[in-house]
């Protein structure tokens, strides 16, 4: 009894094109990206790219860009001491208000609140939190009595 030939599934040409657009978005997420630019990269009409992208990845190209920007902002808020405004501009938002609104929608809290919460869990290189030492210990073990 022979097992018939294994047929290797070939990717749908349209899916390959949509992946080209997704890769372009990943590479240039911090730049202003228009749907028409992505469509040109994929060799599809903007409308066809929008429908195909949503069908393939479950989100629109704009939602994908926003998600990438918010994820990068979360990283920068965690490991740098840069201001929220600087991070907003670094990840490609031109408005602090829009950035804060979208960040809160995706993460559940404002960028400042996120930073405050995450700093309890993550040690940032070069950032030493203040240590609270009771005065009695400092006097007893610190050497300088008062």
The predicted structure's pLDDT at residue 145: 47
Q: Is the dihedral of CA 74, 78, 79, 84 positive or negative?
A: positive
Q: Rounded to the nearest 10 degrees, what angle do helices 13-27 and 35-42 cross at?
A: 130
Whole-number pLDDT of residue 12: 66
Cα separations (Å) of 34 from 9, 91, 98, 104?
32, 16, 17, 24
CA distances from 99 to 21, 66, 88 (A): 23, 9, 6
pLDDT score, position 146? 47
Quote the pLDDT of residue 43.
94
- Of 91, 59, 17, 127, the residue nearest 103 (C-alpha): 91
Q: What is the pLDDT along the chain (146 residues), one digit of tens a residue?
A: 455 565 555 556 688 999 999 999 999 999 999 999 999 999 999 999 999 999 999 999 999 999 999 999 999 999 899 999 999 999 999 999 999 999 999 999 999 999 998 877 766 555 555 555 566 666 666 655 44
């Amino acid at each position: 009894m022979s097992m018939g030939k294994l047929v290797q599934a070939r990717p749908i040409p349209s899916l390959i094109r949509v992946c080209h657009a997704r890769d372009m978005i990943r590479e240039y997420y911090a730049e202003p990206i228009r749907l028409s630019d992505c469509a040109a990269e994929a060799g599809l009409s903007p409308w066809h790219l929008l429908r195909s992208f949503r069908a393939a990845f479950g989100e629109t190209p704009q939602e994908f860009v926003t998600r990438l920007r918010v994820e990068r902002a979360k990283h920068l808020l965690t490991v740098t001491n840069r201001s929220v405004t600087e991070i907003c501009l670094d990840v490609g938002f031109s408005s602090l208000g829009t950035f804060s609104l979208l960040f809160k929608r995706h993460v559940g809290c404002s960028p400042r609140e996120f930073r405050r919460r995450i700093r309890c869990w993550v040690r940032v290189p070069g950032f030493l939190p203040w240590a609270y030492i009771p005065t009695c210990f400092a006097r007893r073990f610190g050497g300088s009595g008062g």
